[in-house]
Structure 1
Amino acid sequence: MRDTGAEDEPTRRDWLKYGGAIIGGGLLAGCVGNSESSATATPESEPSDTASPTDSAATTAEADEYQVCMKPNGCHSFDSVPEEFAVYHQGPVDIVIALGQLDGLVASAFPSTFPTQYYDQIPGVSVEMDGVTALSEDGTPDKELFYELDVDAHLIGHHPAMEYFELDESDLAELEENVAPFHGSWMRRPDYTDGHPYYGLYEGLDKYADVFQTQERGDAFRTMHDELVAEITAELPPVEERPTVAYLNTNYWGDGKTVYVRDPSAPGYQTKPLRDLEIPSHDPFAGQYPDDSNFIQGDYELLLDVDPDAIVYHAGMNVLRDSEKDFEDDILGPLRDHPVASEVTAVANGRVYPYHEFEQGPVMNLFNTELLAKALYPERFGEPTGMEAPPESARLFDRERVAAVIDGDV
């Protein structure tokens, strides 16, 4: 961590102090009011990736000061780009890497298990987490740790901070007054939000780009994503000719026989590649998900009754990277050995695929989208290669272009 001498302290404390005063005095009432008025609304679909005028970075009377608003916790003022910051989930870590800000990452939840293998496939980009403080690898962090880190911004929303750090709003107010704001939002999926609004991946990327004043990088990743999805979907067969695809996990809660079928149309960046490749249009469980949940709990008989052509396995990429687990033995083995599960078409034909990390930002999103297209349509896009790089001729997006954007060459 850099030396934070007395000369640094007034600057950071001042923008916290005056940022709070501006919000309290009502000068940002439109932005803050927007956050508060929708804080209890439960979204029915993922927000569009177009930010509203009151929800974007706004320039203040000070030429070098700016505010960024992010639901559900309102607006924060910055008099300079944060040099050091803490992040929790892997998705936002991927976001700050995409925006070229890795050098400022001081702490994250589980840095030792961050999936650096994706970045190994990007020429000239090296992601090392050795110097990043682990917030949760050794249990719940003490509040004092945040004083010790002394970052310029906690890119973590209030709700995740309370959920994972056992802090309450008074603790967060104290840390925001004495250290730095908690500025972020839970974007993975609707679970655990208590009805809070949330952002789609690229809308959230815009918010973080506003914090770091790297909007061109954010725009470039959005363009790469849109081009990739357009090129893939242009090659897909008619819906009636596509394989039926179930999105589920099994062997996950200990008994090895319980099936959790997840709704691929649920909002959040966890399911974004599924929605982008139009999986909900050929989901054999469509219409069966409860109104108050995005998954169905059942057994192998349920799976056989629906009999999907293919299965994409929730967080399967985490299993591939786990040195203590094996996808073939721990996931596929129990399915093949079970008298009912083995009769499911996807299992019998070997069409059970690992899919996605628990988290994804714009870089991992490109890889996960490519992987999903290859798994479901290998005759069009080539065989999936898991964590291994596909041959250059079989790559669906340009790794060198990704490297250039991360480096700021947009």
Structure 2
Amino acid sequence: MTDDARRDAPTRRDAIKYGGALVSGGLLAGCTGDGGSDSRSSGAGSNAATDTPSEGGSATRDSSYSVTMEPVGTVEFDRVPETWFPYTGDYADMGVALGRGDGLLAIGVRARFGTHLYEELPGVSVNEDDLTQLWQDGTGKEIFYELDADVHVIDPNFMINRLQWSRDDVDEVAERVAPFFGNTGFTRVYDWHDYRYYSMYEAFEKLAEVFRERARYEAFEEYHDEVLADVQSRLPEDTPDVAVLYPAGMPPESFYPYLVGSGTQSKHWSDLNVGDALARHGVTDAQVSGGTVDYETLLEIDPDVLAIRLQGEITPEYFEREIVSHLRNHDVASELRAVRNDRVVYGGLTYQGPIVHLFQLERAARDLYPEEFGDEQLFDRGRVADIVNGDR
């Protein structure tokens, strides 16, 4: 089908559509919000599992309902979406946590979605090979038509600013296939993101409204707070300065620097109250500059801890062999305090939702504070699985 034919075709999907709040430029205009509070008690939730309207989401007696999130505005649903896909793994993980893994059709890049972690959760699984990879030397509109999902859990501004879509492209797919619903929150460094940010659990709550899975959301929120309170109660007063780095090649001779900010990609580090060694020395996040830092620069900063971020399933053996051993044997890297003190740790995946976050919080806490946490399991796999499976 040609682009002109698509635009002239009648709308295929009336069951799930944009509500009246989305007018002309309102979809992508980068409107300002309330400053992006990280508080999860923002009042933005709704009783999404019922037909009772509440702030942030409403439902009518005929079971239609609407959910509001910046920058997309208000999206109206006449039925609960059955098939869906995000671009990034943070929203994929949220959907799985809400018991919607069976309807997940695709992901931007398979290797960046931590499906291997679900293997520790009884009865929870996502077969990565069954997911269509959206990135295929770019991401075109055609794949959205082929997948024909009920909702695209993607910030439309991400499609424009990171994947070079036009506003017309977004509007076309939203009208002819299904709406976009999402807010880029894994990082907070993009200059085009000049509207409200949502914390992990604020975004999770919004997606729960879309899928009408309020009970699962509340169960996760409650358990997250329990786990985090326990971990934080055991942290020392003095916490280390950490440099979060992504190898520019293997074996690494330089790294892309990532700041420990308030985006969801850094939540496990922020939860552990670490300092940001890179930010304190004026290093710019790679997601802004695209630049790298070499070992000489790192030696000038000399962080307490090097947290090396890698995608995919990273075993301790692989990390020791490919990262730690290389640094120990490197003429310059071996002089770093973190290397000398055996403080080179796994930095985790970039994209994390509520399930992946618990795993990454546990691993980071063990690595930073082995005397306190050792090999202890810091959260109950069975309880998490029960929430996902709807057993509590």
Same-fold call, TM cutoff 0.5: yes
C-alpha deviation, 1:190, in angstroms: 1.5
Contact 2:16–2:79 (Cα < 8 Å) also in 1: no
2:104 is matched with which residue? 105
C-alpha deviation, 1:156, in angstroms: 1.2
Deviations 1:97-142 (A, max 9, x none): 0000011112222336633221111122222233322211x32243
- Separation in structure 2 between the aligned mates of residue 257 and residue 133 of structure 1, nearest angstrom: 33
SS in 2 for 1:353: strand
2:242 is matched with which residue? 246
1:262 aligns with 2:258: yes
1:92 aligns with 2:74: no
1:289 is matched with which residue? 282
Contact 1:159–1:193 (Cα < 8 Å) also in 2: no
RMSD: 3.3
Q: Percent identity?
A: 35
SS in 2 for 1:97: helix
Q: Which moved more, 1:67-76 or 1:102-111?
A: 102-111
Contact 2:40–2:201 (Cα < 8 Å) also in 1: yes
- Separation in structure 2 between the aligned mates of residue 234 and residue 51 of structure 1, nearest angstrom: 25
Counterpart of 1:312 in structure 2: which amino acid? A
Cα–Cα, structure 1 residues 58 and 132, in superposed 2: closer, same or farther, change >3 Å?
same
1:320 is matched with which residue? 314
Deviations 1:58-100 (A, max 9, x none): 2254441111111112110001110111221111111110000
2:389 is matched with which residue? 407
Q: 1:271 aligns with which of 266, 269, 277?
A: 266
- Separation in structure 2 between the aligned mates of residue 317 and residue 205 of structure 1, nearest angstrom: 22
Counterpart of 2:270 in structure 1: which amino acid? R
C-alpha deviation, 1:372, in angstroms: 0.7
1:398 is matched with which residue? 380
2:373 is matched with which residue? 381
2:298 is matched with which residue? 303
2:38 is matched with which residue? 47
SS in 2 for 1:246: strand
2:189 is matched with which residue? 191
Cα–Cα, structure 1 residues 76 and 312, in superposed 2: closer, same or farther, change >3 Å?
same
1:65-144 mapped onto 2 (5 Å cutoff):
65-111=64-110, 114-136=113-135, 138-144=136-142
- Separation in structure 2 between the aligned mates of residue 77 and residue 190 of structure 1, nearest angstrom: 28
C-alpha deviation, 1:284, in angstroms: 4.4
TM-score (norm 1): 0.80
2:5 is matched with which residue? none
- Separation in structure 2 between the aligned mates of residue 298 and residue 349 of structure 1, nearest angstrom: 21
C-alpha deviation, 1:290, in angstroms: 5.9
1:155 aligns with 2:153: yes
2:329 is matched with which residue? 337
Contact 2:112–2:311 (Cα < 8 Å) also in 1: no
Runs of at least 5 residues in structure 1 that lack an aligned partner in the other structure: 1-9, 27-31, 384-393
Q: Which moved more, 1:196-205 or 1:55-64?
A: 55-64
Cα–Cα, structure 1 residues 237 and 118, in superposed 2: closer, same or farther, change >3 Å?
same
TM-score (norm 2): 0.83
1:227 aligns with 2:209: no
- Separation in structure 1 between the aligned mates of residue 131 and residue 285 of structure 2, nearest angstrom: 38
Runs of at least 5 residues in structure 2 that lack an aligned partner in the other structure: 1-9, 47-54
- Separation in structure 1 between the aligned mates of residue 163 and residue 311 of structure 2, nearest angstrom: 26
Deviations 1:345-403 (A, max 9, x none): 210122201121121110000000000110011111114xxxxxxxxxx2111111001
Q: Which moved more, 1:106-115 or 1:255-264?
A: 255-264
Counterpart of 1:13 in structure 2: which amino acid? R
Counterpart of 1:404 in structure 2: which amino acid? D
SS in 1 for 2:312: helix
Contact 2:16–2:150 (Cα < 8 Å) also in 1: no
SS in 2 for 1:154: strand
Contact 1:316–1:353 (Cα < 8 Å) also in 2: no
Contact 1:89–1:108 (Cα < 8 Å) also in 2: yes
Q: Which moved more, 1:299-308 or 1:176-185?
A: 299-308
1:353 aligns with 2:345: yes
Aligned residues: 372
Cα–Cα, structure 1 residues 67 and 299, in superposed 2: closer, same or farther, change >3 Å?
same
C-alpha deviation, 1:305, in angstroms: 3.7
